[in-house]
Amino acid sequence: MAGLSRRGFLTGVSAGLLTFGTRAASPKRPNILFAIADDWGYPYASAYGAAGISTPGFDRVASEGCLFTNAFVSAPQCSPNRASILTSRNIWQNEEAGTHASIFPNKLKVFPDLLEQAGYHIGCGGKGWGPGDWEKGGRKRPPAGPEYRKLKLQKPTKGVSDEDYAGNFAQFLEARADGAPFYYWYGGREPHRVYEPGSGRRAGKKIEDARVPPFLPDNPTVREDILDYLLEAEWFDRHLGLMLDRLDQIGELDTTLVVVTGDTGISFPGAKANLYEYGIHVPLAARWPERVAPGKTSEDLISCADLAPTFLDAAGVGLEPGMVGRSFLEGAGSEKADFIVTGRERHSHARYDDLGYPSRAIRTSQHLYIRNFKPDRWPAGDPEGYYDIDDSPTKTYMLEHRDEMPKLFAHSFGKRPEEELFDVRADPGCLDNLAGKPEHAEIEAQLSKRLMKLLEDQQDPRARGSEIFESYPRMSKMRLELGGFAEEGKYNRTYTEKE
């Protein structure tokens, strides 16, 4: 079995991380444009051949650079994964920032600050790190950078944000000093729910083009919900395209490292807030002519924790102690990771006494192994509302027709065993748990050992039996759900539109 190295990642299966091209001495540090959509999951982009969606901005980055097919989040939730991107640390290393909508401790070093210290003009438009409270963590400004959010526009649908993402990016560019390289975090709030019902179909999308994951019922309600989701993903992509055009116009596109991805899987039952494939697998493309050869497709396993080291590598800035990711701009001879790790703690106020659902997972090129530390709890939240699943027409349909789809309902809403193992090549929907089956005992034992060894080496409190994650506050707006419990600390449903 291969050994542990590169700050806790496994090595030894194959050498040579994706080779983008010749690493020549750069006369100038590149600009960095990082675009991250909210709840945009793989494979919902036209570059991947998905029907019913057109993403020319993402496709341009992919065709003029590299398209990644195996990119994964560090957590299937907004704020903990974004914290992992910013710090290049796994969620169990980020204290309060490792759980959803808590605080961001000031002691955690973030890559935007490091870039600014190196002379970069930095900024953030749309959604940066969040939801959560960075001020209560002792920070003086948002972790993703100073905000550029003043310009608004008329929304085409009720579901999307009214922020003029591209216009605010232009203002950011105008604010920089002559000759300074820039870093900009474009955080689209789409395709986070809520969606305007029927908006996708009214925009001309065809019901037959909706790609329904294998763990969801295939019917007009779900298909239309997917079309509405696709329309919002296109809104994110439209502004990305405008930003690329702007850089082209001012002659700086080819001197800019552009990286585009999503922060969680799709916002449907059995996906977002789950460690299953559709909860952790996200799109990823990168463009930078100097070091990214055009027209490449990479099957390398990439973690969101690898993004900060990639940006710092491009800028010629060293990593901070404790960063566990690695740059995917490295050339031939680099060790190639043969797995990624991911995990989750609390999501929304969905369980008695505000308890979370602690899980950790390891994903190789073929298998996904999950360790559920509290199998007695409901993964989707207690049945009073299953509030860890975002409200949607799909969720409502499955609740109302649960008796007609026992296997699909159990997958998204039911309790789970302590260990789960899936062959994601044969079963990307993660419907057939192989854990406990004799013919898969060897790979189950191997992945379990690898995962627990890494968690122990990185001092994961959960792996050591600590309940400290249960003590971290959740800093978010709340309202009491009708029919729920009114007592403090029980079923206080979190609600913020486009959180």
Residues 304 and 217 in one domain: yes
The H or E element containing residue 423 is strand 419-423
Tell me the pairing of strands 182-187 and 296-298: unpaired
Q: Which of 29-38, 137-146, 479-488 has the lowest mean pLDDT?
A: 479-488
Residues 316 and 399 in one domain: no
Domain membership flag for residue 487: yes
Question: Would you state the pLDDT for residue 329?
Answer: 87
Residues 160 and 227 in one domain: yes
Domain membership flag for residue 6: no
CATH of the domain at 288: 3.40.720.10
Tokens encoding 100: 């959803």
Residues 366 and 287 in one domain: no
CA terminus-to-terminus distance, the chain = 42
Rounded Cα distance between 53 and 50, Å, is 7
Helices 393-400 & 220-249 angle (0-180, nearest 10):
160
Residues 397 and 443 in one domain: yes
Helices 220-249 & 56-63 angle (0-180, nearest 10):
60
Domain count for the chain: 2
Domain membership flag for residue 499: no
Rounded Cα distance between 319 and 302, Å, is 18
Domain membership flag for residue 265: yes
Residues 310 and 422 in one domain: no
Res 15 pLDDT > 60: no
Give start and end residues of each alpha helix (H) in 164-297.
165-174, 199-202, 220-249, 277-280
pLDDT digits (tens, 9 = 90+) for 345-399: 999 989 988 899 999 999 999 999 999 999 999 999 999 999 999 999 999 999 9
Residues 76 and 161 in one domain: yes
Average pLDDT over residues 401-419: 98
- Identify the domain boundary among 292, 312, 337: 337
Q: Which of 15-19, 114-118, 204-208, 415-419 has the lowest mean pLDDT?
A: 15-19
Answer for the pair 314, 255: CB distance below 8 angstroms, yes or no. Answer: no
Three-state secondary structure call for residue 66: strand
Question: Would you state the pLDDT for residue 337?
Answer: 84
- Identify the domain boundary among 312, 337, 362: 337
Res 488 pLDDT > 80: no
Question: Would you state the pLDDT for residue 279?
Answer: 98
Give start and end residues of each alpha helix (H) in 32-110.
56-63, 78-87
Average pLDDT over residues 118-125: 98
Domain membership flag for residue 14: no
Residues 65 and 147 in one domain: yes
Query: Cis peptide before 309, with omega less than 30 degrees from 0?
Result: no
Q: Which residues contact 138 (CB under 8 A, 6 or more apart)?
A: 105, 106, 107
Determine the structural domain holding residue 379 and report its residue range.
342-494
Rounded Cα distance between 465 and 57, Å, is 45
Rounded Cα distance between 146 and 123, Å, is 5
Question: Would you state the pLDDT for residue 438?
Answer: 98
pLDDT digits (tens, 9 = 90+) for 57-113: 999 999 999 999 999 999 999 999 999 999 999 999 999 999 999 999 999 999 999
Tell me the pairing of strands 66-72 and 31-37: unpaired
Average pLDDT over residues 458-470: 96
Residue 332: beta bridge partners? none
Q: Which of 9-13, 44-48, 90-94, 417-421 has the lowest mean pLDDT?
A: 9-13
Question: Would you state the pLDDT for residue 18?
Answer: 47
Residues 285 and 152 in one domain: yes
Domain membership flag for residue 45: yes
Residues 277 and 402 in one domain: no
Domain membership flag for residue 286: yes
Question: Would you state the pLDDT for residue 386?
Answer: 97
Question: Would you state the pLDDT for residue 353?
Answer: 86
Q: Which residues contact 92 (CB under 8 A, 6 or more apart)?
A: 98, 343, 360, 455, 458, 459, 460, 461, 462, 463
Residues 117 and 264 in one domain: yes
Mean pLDDT of the chain: 90
Question: Would you state the pLDDT for residue 299?
Answer: 96
Rounded Cα distance between 222 and 478, Å, is 28
Residues 302 and 354 in one domain: no
Domain membership flag for residue 3: no
- Identify the domain boundary among 337, 364, 384: 337
Question: Sorting pLDDT into bands at 50, 70 and 90, what band is 476?
Answer: low
